[in-house]
Amino acid sequence: MPVALAFALLLGGTPANPNDAFETRVHAAKMAEAAATGPAYQKALWGKIGNPTTDAYKGCMAGDAATGKSPFTLVLDVDAQGKPHGIIVQPATPVAACMAGQFATWTFPLPPASPKPYPLEIDFSVGR
């Protein structure tokens, strides 16, 4: 009976705070970046998406002059084929949403074997 009660509480419990889930994903990405395979993957990643990211960011900011320079964080998971999934941005500004749309269309370098899917986190900010 205690197992059934615990299961019922899990199903009917209070929903998790979405910000907690976001912070958990950010932490997972930072841990992956700090792992032994992280630096090599970061080098391959930025070698492939560095210029496209800069170009996309400039284009997204041009569309929102009022809040375009507000900082935000983007998190995503990269699958074994280099495809992005689960892209989320916080805060969800128009520029952040624009960048999420850009990242959704890209193919990333094949990630390390672990963790699966491979988490990424990118902080965007522009000096004023």
Three-state secondary-structure class, residue 79: coil
User: What would the pLDDT profile of 21-72 be if each residue is shown by its tens digit?
Assistant: 999 999 999 999 999 999 999 999 999 999 999 999 999 988 776 667 889 9
In this structure, are residues 117 and 81 in contact, taking their beta carbons and an 8 Å threshold?
A: no
User: What would the pLDDT profile of 15-25 be if each residue is shown by its tens digit?
Assistant: 455 568 999 99
Per-domain residue ranges of the chain: 17-124
In this structure, are residues 42 and 29 in contact, taking their beta carbons and an 8 Å threshold?
A: no
Q: Which residue has the higher pLDDT, 90 or 11?
A: 90
Return the structure tokens found at 35: 């792992």
Question: In sequence order, what are the beta bridge partners of 2?
Answer: none
Cα distances from 127 to residues 42, 87, 119, 124, in angstroms, run 23, 25, 26, 10
